[in-house]
Amino acid sequence: MKQCLNGILALSVLSLCELSPGADAWKPVKGNIMTRWAKDVDPEKPWPEYPRPKMVREDWANLNGLWDYAIRPRDEAQPAAWDGKILVPFCAESALSGVKKPVGMENRLWYRRLFEIPAKWEGQRVLLHFAAVDWDCTVWVNGKEAGSHKGGYDPFTFDITDALKTGANEVVASVWDPTSDGGQARGKQVKNPHGIWYTPVTGIWQTVWLEPVAETYIESLKIVPDVDGGKVRVTVNAMAGGPVNVKATATAEGETVARAEGKSDQPLELAIDNAKLWSPNSPFLYDLDVAIVGGDAVKSYFGMRNVSMAKDDKGALRMLLNDEFVFHYGPLDQGWWPDGLYTPPTDEAMVYDLQVLKSLGMNMLRKHVKVAPERLYHHCDKLGLLVWQDMPSGNFQKDDAAREQYRVEHQRLVEFLHNYPCIVMWVPFNEGWGQHDTPAIAQWVKELDPTRLVNEASGWHDKGSGDIRDVHSYPGPGMPKLEEKRVAVLGEFGGLGLPVEDHLWWDKRNWGYRNYRSRQELQHHYDTLIHKLRPMIAQGLCAAVYTQTTDVEGEVNGLMTYDREVLKLDAAHSAALHACLYDATRDMPEITALPPPPKVTMIVPTSEQEGQEWRYTTDKPGENWMKPDFDDTSWKTGKGMFGTKSTPGTRVETEWTTSDIYIRRSFELTAVPAAPVLRVYHDEDAEIYINGKQVKKLSGYVTELINVPLGKDASVLRKGKNTIAVHCHQTRGGQGVDAGIVEIEKTQE
């Protein structure tokens, strides 16, 4: 495989005359944390690597770099003037784009750049490729419409030969994206990011590139390994007037192992004798050369592996890789970046995440409601990481058009990622997000790709279809009941949170299913989860997915911080722990000891032990209701906490069932604490004021009282009388609110 991989990483890329400003026209927008790789982004050639590792041609030209951009009302025509420069392939909302502005569904994002075609391409067709654009994109070349595409995650191509001219050529693209207001696939993007929901992504977010091809050329490949039959089937789809003669050659470490010739659009069978199988422990890859006889040629590769199910000697149905049970363990992988959002800053940055997972002894990842650049799957192939691929979620129940678009985009996803051996499972739905027609969808996906398992829906609404029975359990672990025809997996668990100061996306309350104070404390509780998980494997559990690879925006339950600077677990200890999930004969490492508990001094008591008296109202109060001198004598008096008794983590003494509640209380301080910390329960959004100043705005909900450092806002406290006031807003489900102030002596690591 060495020869092919080196070729992919070091192709002789043709340079284009960019006809645009250089690096001085761009710089990242400040405002949030960045990764260490942001400094390596070269505005003259960002993401220079060949973007399609499964079908490589030597001649190509990268169009990434600085483009003109403009944000205009949706119905306006192409702008006559431009707002500035945007760095492709980073979306408009990202820092690395140099723009970092919201677009919104009421607007359209426009792009423009000039390029020249190399002289050596004369006489060939020229293809314009977009690896991914979110969401509705129309492209013009020299004023002629080249085509349009709807879909935020799949590549698309236009033949622009007939629109080209000698000298400078112009490409213009417009993009419209309704984000969470539409019915299209959009994963975790929402208009107003909060909790587990993230920043919108609009526009080009993967590589744009040009490629010269012959009049008759290879459009795509379909590679199907057959381990039991000792062969691989390669179907060459050619852009031609009819079938053409094609050939394929497989090599291993430079030695030819198989050849076959035949017609396009029909499988070529290459016999692979004594095949070296692909697995996480031995990710062996064969090189593959494919050509139209006397014409177009591409390089690819494949792994010999199969995916199946069978019962073990105890009657439990197991997932098999190469006819052997391999327990799948790894993280829920969101694939978001603080500086590039959907787009990693560099290929090296993307590989780093995968290398960390390998160092932790994990053998899989679940690509969560997002699709990665193809190079990620290429690296998973090389490193030996199994991939469960989600279909990005959306409001597919919105209408018939949304459901139809779901099928269109899902089919493209299955087809363009089909040849990556690392992918072993398709996940059409996550939880109930856009879930519809589940049994029919599961069967349809299985028909699209019978070589992989289909997980009808990870978590929540089980409809009894597909190959997998998947449950979520937080923090867990847990497992579903065993079934005759479906494998039992734990599709999400854990979610243990550790906010790390100076590595947070924002200062708001950060989200974790459980939050801890130190790495030692986190490791202890993580170890405890794995010790509980291991016996479930013998009981029939086949996989477990831990939430998650990194912190993302407000979520702090990552194995790493969002900027990838802090690995929260001890790698060597965790790898030894995880090795016991794959080998029942190993002795489990001891659970990491808990650090000594911190000293907690109660400054303003909460109601977790004894109800504290507050003034409260559920009617909207006067404008200055949070001010210390506000007259609240007309308000009711009640003891905290306030809420409904069925809400998890509450100790309710005063029932609150309306959408809003406003609470106030006064307290005396004999001295101002050095490092005060709010202790808060909120379900859902809460605004907290001290002495009339808002000190925190917390989104979403929690299931226990949490500690929120006041930081610089501690200066509002004063000796003598103080006032704390809270507004809590509730939309659905349970509800509750309580607040107090403590001082915590830091635990030493």
Task: Answer for the pair 280, 329: CB distance below 8 angstroms, yes or no.
Answer: no
CA distance 604 to 608: 12
* Backbone torsions φ then ψ of 409, nearest 5 degrees: -70, -35
pLDDT recorded at residue 700: 84
CA distance 470 to 461: 10
Length of the chain counted residue by residue:
749
Note the helical H segments in 340-437.
347-359, 374-383, 400-416
Pairing of strands 600-604, 133-134: unpaired
Which residues lie across from 139 on neighbouring strands?
Answer: 147, 173
CA distance 304 to 72: 50
Task: Answer for the pair 710, 206: CB distance below 8 angstroms, yes or no.
Answer: no
CA distance 439 to 649: 36
How many CB atoms are closer than 10 A to CB 615? 18
CA distance 697 to 704: 17
pLDDT recorded at residue 733: 84
Domains of the chain: 2-213 (2.60.120.260), 217-295 (2.60.40.10), 317-582 (3.20.20.80), 600-744 (2.60.120.260)
Per-residue pLDDT tens digits for 418-447: 999 999 999 999 999 999 999 999 999 999
Buried/exposed code over 665-699 (b: 16+ C-beta within 10 A; e: otherwise): bebebeeebeebbbbbbbbbbbbbbbbeeebbebb
Q: How far from chain centre, in Å, is Cα 539? A: 31
Per-10-residue mean pLDDT for the chain, 749 residues long? 37 45 79 94 97 97 98 96 97 98 97 96 97 98 98 98 96 97 96 93 98 97 97 96 95 96 97 97 98 97 98 97 98 98 98 98 98 98 98 95 97 98 98 96 98 97 97 96 98 95 79 82 97 98 98 96 98 98 96 89 94 97 96 97 90 96 97 93 96 94 87 94 97 92 75
CA distance 251 to 515: 51
Whether residue 124 has a cis bond before it, omega within 30° of 0: no
Q: Which helix (H) or strand (E) holds 533?
A: helix 519-538
Which residues lie across from 410 on neighbouring strands?
Answer: none
pLDDT recorded at residue 181: 95
Q: Decide: helix, strand or coil at residue 616.
A: strand
DSSP-derived secondary structure for 112-127: EEEE---GGGTTSEEE
Q: Which helix (H) or strand (E) holds 5?
A: helix 2-9
Note the helical H segments in 588-685.
none
pLDDT recorded at residue 246: 98
How many CB atoms are closer than 10 A to CB 207? 26
CA distance 456 to 711: 45
Which of 281, 275, 243, 276 shows the shortest CA–CA distance to 262?
A: 243
Burial level of 624, CB count in 10 A (0-12/13-18/19+)? exposed
pLDDT recorded at residue 691: 98
CA distance 54 to 417: 9
* Backbone torsions φ then ψ of 653, nearest 5 degrees: -115, -25
| DSSP conformation class of 599 | P
| DSSP conformation class of 658 | S
pLDDT recorded at residue 17: 44
Task: Answer for the pair 121, 212: CB distance below 8 angstroms, yes or no.
Answer: yes
**Sequence letter at residue 185:** A
Burial level of 12, CB count in 10 A (0-12/13-18/19+)? exposed
Q: How far from chain centre, in Å, is Cα 163? A: 37
Tokens of 169: 């050529």
Which of 245, 360, 350 shows the shortest CA–CA distance to 292?
A: 245
pLDDT recorded at residue 649: 81
Pairing of strands 600-604, 736-744: antiparallel
**Sequence letter at residue 433:** W
